[in-house]
């Protein structure tokens, strides 16, 4: 019989809405002898069952819920079924990108604490749950089994467990190949016809920003004949798609020379370098020096300006400043692509900022499209934490 944790009425409300995390500040009763990383049941003060999951005795997220079915056995077959379900979803929504996509997106795939991306024949995994880390040998074995049963050629798993959240779980940070495997850490993927260098050891996140894949194609479709500035280009994702879409010219701006060097390599790989320029600069400062009408389309894809609710106001000012400046630079009929990857910058707040920026810049925004992250990063409507990317395309009129 599993041990249990008792939750407060406030926490009960959240879990009944579908939340998959139980926070420590909602605990009413906790047996301190519970083994760290074990599976526990969550009960209300009225002894009602609400779910079962891994307990982390050190983390603020005390329990990451795996199931809300008390009779479900959490064993190898349980994880195989969850992984197979997640994989079948990708085969449906990413059938033409299965060799470079996110296979498992934690809570959204009901596998809390587990992220797995695929780059050709290498899987890149991150584990942010103490309980999951304890059984990772079994989880990895099942993951490889599911893919190989479908005829997928996977040679190894690279662990990018160099994320700060592991410290909060009482886990060490490290990166490297799992098991007795020695494979290259660099590869070239095909993203919608573009060849891209990927560095799984040192690249951002697990090697690349897969979540903007479909949004980059939206830029490609409207880039023809336009002078485009891609701000915060990093390794050139949006800039390359603009050039691939026959833009007249593309300026890629980033503060990191290392990122720009890789962006240039990607341009050469796709024979697009003749239509592109790479500028090392602080984007805020660069845009201040630009002239009105210099570009027909500006892309703003900054890193998250806020990673907590405490700094949202400061981030709001940063987003407003840069969006207002971009609007001022574009002539009537120009296009603005703008986004935020911070889940704490909520949609209503981001749109309020855009309206204020447009009013102060003296322009009117005509919406072309509004999207979020790519389909391989699914959004669970009962878990707002799975919804983070907001992506807008406007024409200025």
Q: Look at residue 305 in the predicted model and tell me its pLDDT.
A: 78
Looking at the fold, whether 85 and 215 belong to one and the same domain comes out as: no
In a domain, 200, yes or no: no
User: Taking the mean position of all CA atoms in its chain, how far away is CA 144?
Assistant: 23
Count of C-beta atoms within a 10 Å radius of residue 120: 16
Boundary (domain end) residue, out of 45, 67, 89: 67
Reported as a single tens digit per residue, the pLDDT across 40-78 is 999 999 999 999 999 999 999 999 999 999 999 999 999
Query: Which 3 state secondary structure label does DSSP give 346?
Result: coil
Looking at the fold, whether 173 and 144 belong to one and the same domain comes out as: yes
Looking at the fold, whether 293 and 156 belong to one and the same domain comes out as: no
Which residues lie closer than 8 Å to 4 by C-beta, 6 or more apart?
31, 40, 41, 42, 43
Nearest to 342 by CA among 303, 378, 314: 303
In a domain, 191, yes or no: no
The count of domains in the chain is: 3
Q: Look at residue 313 in the predicted model and tell me its pLDDT.
A: 84
Compute the distance between CA of residue 63 and CA of residue 105 in angstroms, rounded to an integer: 18
Boundary (domain end) residue, out of 44, 67, 90: 67
Across the chain, which has 397 residues, the per-10-residue mean pLDDT values are 92 92 94 93 96 95 95 96 98 93 96 97 97 97 97 96 94 96 95 96 91 97 98 96 98 96 97 97 96 98 78 87 97 97 87 97 98 96 91 98
Q: Look at residue 205 in the predicted model and tell me its pLDDT.
A: 87
Instruction: Describe the chain by its helix, strand, coil percentages, rounded to 5.
Output: 35, 30, 35
Instruction: Look up the CATH number of the domain holding residue 219.
Output: 3.40.50.150
Looking at the fold, whether 383 and 331 belong to one and the same domain comes out as: yes
Pairing, β 227-231 against β 249-254: parallel
pTM score, whole prediction: 0.93
Nearest to 297 by CA among 244, 233, 250: 250
Q: Look at residue 360 in the predicted model and tell me its pLDDT.
A: 97
In a domain, 201, yes or no: no
Reported as a single tens digit per residue, the pLDDT across 286-304 is 999 999 999 999 999 998 7
| Residue the block writes with tokens 């962006």 | 263
What is the residue range of 165's domain?
76-184
Q: What is the mean pLDDT of the chain?
A: 95
In a domain, 103, yes or no: yes
In a domain, 203, yes or no: no
Looking at the fold, whether 249 and 123 belong to one and the same domain comes out as: no
| Straight-line distance from the first to the last Cα atom of the chain, in angstroms, rounded to the nearest whole number | 65
Q: Look at residue 345 in the predicted model and tell me its pLDDT.
A: 83
Classify residue 138 as exposed, middle or buried by CB count within 10 Å of its CB (0-12, 13-18, 19+): middle
Looking at the fold, whether 83 and 50 belong to one and the same domain comes out as: no
Looking at the fold, whether 49 and 167 belong to one and the same domain comes out as: no
Q: Look at residue 395 in the predicted model and tell me its pLDDT.
A: 98
Instruction: Look up the CATH number of the domain holding residue 52.
Output: 2.30.130.10
Looking at the fold, whether 238 and 291 belong to one and the same domain comes out as: yes
């Amino acid at each position: 019989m599993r041990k249990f944790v008792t939750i407060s009425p406030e926490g009960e409300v959240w879990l009944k809405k579908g939340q998959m995390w139980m926070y420590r500040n909602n605990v009413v009763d906790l047996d301190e002898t519970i083994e760290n990383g074990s599976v526990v049941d969550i009960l209300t003060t009225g002894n009602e069952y609400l779910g079962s999951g891994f307990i982390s005795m050190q983390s603020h997220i005390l329990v990451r819920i795996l199931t809300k079915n008390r009779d479900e056995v959490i064993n190898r077959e349980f994880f195989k079924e969850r992984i197979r379900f997640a994989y079948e979803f990708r085969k449906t929504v990413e059938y033409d990108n299965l060799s470079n996509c996110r296979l498992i997106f934690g809570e959204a795939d009901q596998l809390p604490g587990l992220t797995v991306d695929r780059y050709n024949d290498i899987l890149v995994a991150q584990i942010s749950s103490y309980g999951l880390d304890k059984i990772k040998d079994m989880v990895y074995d099942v993951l490889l089994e599911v893919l190989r049963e479908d005829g997928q050629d996977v040679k190894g798993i690279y662990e990018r467990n160099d994320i700060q959240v592991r410290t909060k779980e009482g886990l060490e940070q490290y990166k490297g190949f799992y098991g007795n495997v020695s494979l290259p850490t660099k590869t070239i993927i095909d993203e919608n016809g573009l060849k891209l260098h990927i560095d799984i050891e040192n690249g951002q996140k697990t090697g690349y920003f897969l979540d903007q894949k479909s949004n980059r194609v939206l830029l490609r479709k409207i880039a023809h004949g336009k002078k485009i500035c891609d701000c915060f280009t990093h390794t050139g994702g949006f800039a390359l798609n603009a050039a691939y879409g026959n833009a007249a010219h593309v300026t890629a701006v980033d503060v990191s020379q290392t990122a720009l060097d890789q962006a240039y390599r990607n341009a050469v790989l796709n024979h697009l370098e003749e239509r592109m320029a790479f500028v090392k600069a602080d984007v805020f400062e660069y845009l201040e020096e630009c002239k009105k009408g210099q570009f027909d389309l500006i892309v703003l894809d900054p890193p998250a300006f806020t990673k907590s609710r405490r700094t949202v106001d400061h981030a709001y000012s940063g987003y407003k400043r840069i969006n207002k400046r971009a609007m001022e630079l574009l002539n009537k009929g120009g296009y603005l692509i703008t986004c935020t990857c911070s889940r704490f910058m909520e949609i209503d707040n981001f749109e309020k900022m855009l309206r204020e920026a447009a009013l102060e810049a003296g322009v009117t925004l005509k919406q072309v499209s509004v999207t979020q992250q790519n389909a391989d990063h699914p959004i669970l409507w009962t878990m707002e934490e799975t919804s983070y990317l907001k992506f807008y395309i406007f024409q200025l009129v």
